[in-house]
């Protein structure tokens, strides 16, 4: 780790080349987030929020710059190290859920534990606990196409939490939920975060979610907007 940072970004750039030119999805981002934080990322559509989360999740690499999470250099790590990072350190709730369509709710939630080498039998109590936590015990045998949008989202959250990750990344985790379920999900994430997760990073458009954060990152056009409190900038 760099200092006491759980997450350390230095001059991170991610560009995409397309027919019409180069898009600077992230444009020289530097950031330090200490362990124990609940961080929200806000900003208009297209400002680079999902791009940032993909980099933190080791799903994509920066065009230039440095990213260290829990001391692991994601910008230079090999595929094996990245796979191990995703399996052992990370939980991620994708913007569009990425549930596996041929697997039931229960199997989706169980999968990260099996990938880690746990037996289905050993994983079962944890899977039950997660399904109960998000209120989906009664839907555990359903396939994703048999779920509402909010139920898919809660399944994705249960899957992300199943492996007790040190870093939880969530892209609009309450975007498809009514306010009662959104509040419930946020309370759950915060409760778990305060117990076990070192850092929780949530992309949100919700002011009420952002208001709960220990630090807020505001983005515009691939850059972090400096402000008075929180870890942004630097």
Contact set with ligand ATP (CB under 6 A): 16, 18, 23, 25, 45-51, 95
Q: Would you count residue 40 as binding Mg ion (CB under 5 A)?
A: no
Provide, rounded to whole angstroms, the least separation between the CB of residue 53 and Mg ion. Answer: 8
Q: Which is nearer to ligand ATP, 49 or 139 (CB)?
A: 49
Rounded to an integer, what distance in angstroms lies between the CA atom of residue 80 and that of residue 228? 39
Q: What is the closest distance, in whole angstroms, from the C-beta atom of residue 46 to ligand ATP in the complex?
A: 4
Instruction: Kindly tell me which of 30 and 95 has the beta carbon lying closer to ligand ATP.
Output: 95
Q: How far apart are CA 71 and CA 53, in angstroms?
A: 17
Question: Could you give the C-alpha distances from 187 to 54, 74, 183, 184, in angstroms and in order?
Answer: 24, 30, 6, 5
Smallest distance from the beta carbon of 205 to ligand ATP, in angstroms? 7
For residue 3, the 8-state DSSP code is T
Q: Please, which residue, 95 or 188, has the CB nearer to Mg ion?
A: 95
Spatial separation of the C-alpha atoms in residues 2 and 98, rounded to whole Å: 32
Residue 94's SS3 state is coil
Least distance in Å: CB of 23 to ligand ATP?
Answer: 5
Residue owning tokens 């983005």 = 219
Backbone angles phi, psi at 8, to 5 degrees: -135, 120
47 binds, among ligand ATP, Mg ion, none (CB under 5 to 8 A by kind): ligand ATP
Query: Within positions 76 to 105, which residues make up the interface with Mg ion, using CB under 5 A?
Result: 95
| Residue 51 binding result from Mg ion, ligand ATP, none, given CB thresholds of 5 to 8 Å by partner type | ligand ATP
Toward Mg ion, which CB reaches closer, 50 or 140?
50
Q: What is the smallest separation between the CB atom of 203 and ligand ATP, expressed in angstroms? A: 7
Q: Which of 50, 108, 155, 174 binds Mg ion (CB under 5 A)?
A: 50
Q: Which helix (H) or strand (E) holds 84?
A: helix 79-88
Task: Select the residue whose beta carbon is closest to Mg ion and give its number.
Answer: 50
* Nearer residue to ligand ATP within complex by CB, 130 or 232: 232
Locus of tokens 């790590």 = 77
Strands (E), 43-85: 64-69, 72-73
d(CA 120, CA 28) in angstroms, rounded, equals 44
């Amino acid at each position: 780790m760099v200092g006491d940072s759980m997450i350390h970004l230095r001059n991170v750039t991610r560009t995409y080349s397309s027919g019409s030119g180069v898009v600077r999805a992230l444009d020289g981002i530097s950031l330090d987030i200490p362990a124990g934080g609940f961080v929200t990322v806000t900003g208009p559509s297209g400002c680079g929020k999902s791009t940032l989360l993909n980099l933190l999740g080791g799903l994509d690499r920066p065009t230039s710059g440095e990213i260290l999470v829990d001391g692991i250099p994601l910008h230079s790590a090999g595929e094996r190290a990245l796979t191990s990072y995703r399996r052992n350190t990370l939980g991620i709730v994708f913007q569009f859920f990425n549930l596996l369509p041929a697997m039931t709710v229960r199997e989706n939630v169980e999968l990260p534990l099996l990938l880690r080498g746990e037996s289905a039998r050993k994983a079962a109590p944890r899977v039950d606990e997660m399904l109960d936590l998000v209120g989906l015990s009664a839907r555990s045998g359903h396939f994703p196409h048999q779920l509402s949008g909010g139920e898919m989202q809660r399944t994705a959250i249960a899957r992300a939490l199943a492996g007790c990750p040190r870093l939880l990344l969530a892209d609009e985790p309450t975007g498809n939920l009514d306010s009662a379920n959104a509040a419930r999900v946020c309370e759950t994430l915060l409760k778990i975060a305060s117990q076990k997760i070192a850092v929780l990073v949530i992309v949100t458009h919700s002011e009420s979610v952002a208001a709960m954060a220990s630090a807020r990152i505001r983005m515009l056009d691939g850059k972090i907007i400096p402000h008075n409190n929180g870890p942004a900038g630097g």
